[in-house]
A = this chain, B = another copy of it.
Amino acid sequence: MVKVGIVGGTGYTGVELLRLLATHDEAEVIVITSRMECGRRVDDLFPNLRGHYDLVFQVPDVAVLAACDVVFFATPHNVSMNLVPQLLAAGARVVDLSADYRIRDPDLWSRWYGEAHASPELLVEAVYGLPELNRKQIAPARLVACPGCYPTSVQLGFMPLLVQGLVDNKHLIASSASGVSGAGRKASIDNLLSETADSFKAYGVTGHRHLPEIEQGLSDIAAQQTQVTFVPHLLPIVRGIHSTLFAQLQDEGQDLQALYEHCYAQEPFVDVLPAGNFPQTRAVKGANRCQISVVVPQDRRTAVVMVSIDNLVKGASGQAVQNMNIMFGLNEEAGLRHIGLLP
């Protein structure tokens, strides 16, 4: 039984980790922290968990956390980079859902996050936790940086094209849309229902923090410098990311359907839909699954790839559990067999 600690359990990725781990037969959450809600039962804050947990939020304490086999950071950026060095030193392994260890270049990280990195020496060691790309490196890792939600969808969508070198990798386009839970559980005017419901808009068009992560990842996959125009949009729904990707094909005539099916044939959580079907976010709601379609409209050399995930599951907490399963030699699907809640 893997002993699990969660730092920052009051946000949406925190409650989602608790939901997924509650029915995981080989892992058990033994500690969960929150400075704000210290002393409160988790099932008082999250009544869906009643009957599943007796845990109480406690103040983060390195000694207590270090007794865990693995510690998940479900925190905003700028938390894990201060605590992880001590936890690793104490022998714990870490799966970080925040952005702190996703970008290898500390200067680039600083430019987008507006401060110096607190433990840049770990950036080299941290493994980028996209199992479909880095499964072998994840298995022995001490520190896994879980990908962001948008980056997961964009990388899984472009991967087959880039691995095969089929497209102009200087002019990729990603038009993505996310549910509001991606903005987290914190007081704000912008994410009120009254500000976001019954509406749709783009945001962060001039530069979203997921852009450097996406370009780093795509460049790794393509093994050459890759650029993407990334436009995120805000959907008036709670959960779900849908990315519509555009790429200029170098040549005609490839069977992209076959390429995608072959590329992901062995992946338990990536599902290439039959030709003629397109992903919808509700089909993966609550599930650790990525559904993908690819078409070339009017046979005109512009490939269109559509990708949907649940931003809180395959885009965050589910992927984190998947990483844990790989790190501890468990069945990769353990605790992750939930079916999308449709309707």
Q: Which residues of A contact B (CB under 8 A)?
A: 12, 15, 19, 22-23, 44, 46-52, 171, 173, 175, 177, 179-181, 183, 185-189, 191-203, 205-207, 227, 229-231, 233, 235-240, 242, 244, 246, 248, 271, 273-274, 276-287, 291, 293, 295, 297-298, 300, 302, 304, 306, 308, 312, 337-343
Whether B198 pairs with A238 at a CB distance below 8 angstroms is yes
Whether A342 pairs with B46 at a CB distance below 8 angstroms is yes
CB contact under 8 A between A201 and B246, given known A192-B188, A194-B238, A342-B15:
no
Copies in the complex: 4
CB contact under 8 A between A193 and B236, given known A175-B175, A297-B229:
yes
On chain B, the residues within 8 Å of A341 by CB distance are 19, 48, 239, 285-286, 341
Whether A227 pairs with B300 at a CB distance below 8 angstroms is yes
Bound-state CA distance A139–B254 (Å) is: 50
Apart from A180-B197, A191-B192, A198-B239, what 5 extra A-B contacts exist at CB < 8 Å?
A: A173-B173, A181-B194, A199-B282, A201-B281, A202-B242
Bound-state CA distance A77–B49 (Å) is: 35
On chain B, the residues within 8 Å of A171 by CB distance are 248, 302
Nearest-CB residue, chain B, relative to A298: B207
Give the shortest distance, in Å, between A247 (CB) and chain B (any CB).
Answer: 10
On chain B, the residues within 8 Å of A51 by CB distance are 271
Bound-state CA distance A277–B304 (Å) is: 28
On chain B, the residues within 8 Å of A185 by CB distance are 189, 192, 194-195, 343
On chain B, the residues within 8 Å of A342 by CB distance are 15, 19, 46-48
On chain B, the residues within 8 Å of A240 by CB distance are 198-200
Give the shortest distance, in Å, between A24 (CB) and chain B (any CB).
Answer: 12
On chain B, the residues within 8 Å of A280 by CB distance are 47, 199-201
On chain B, the residues within 8 Å of A229 by CB distance are 246, 297-298, 300, 302, 304
CB contact under 8 A between A282 and B206, given known A192-B193, A297-B229:
no
11 contacts between A and B (CB under 8 A): A23-B339, A46-B283, A48-B287, A50-B273, A180-B193, A198-B240, A199-B237, A199-B282, A205-B297, A229-B246, A230-B297
On chain B, the residues within 8 Å of A186 by CB distance are 189
Bound-state CA distance A236–B242 (Å) is: 13
CB contact under 8 A between A306 and B206, given known A192-B192, A193-B197:
no
On chain B, the residues within 8 Å of A197 by CB distance are 180, 193, 197-198, 236-238
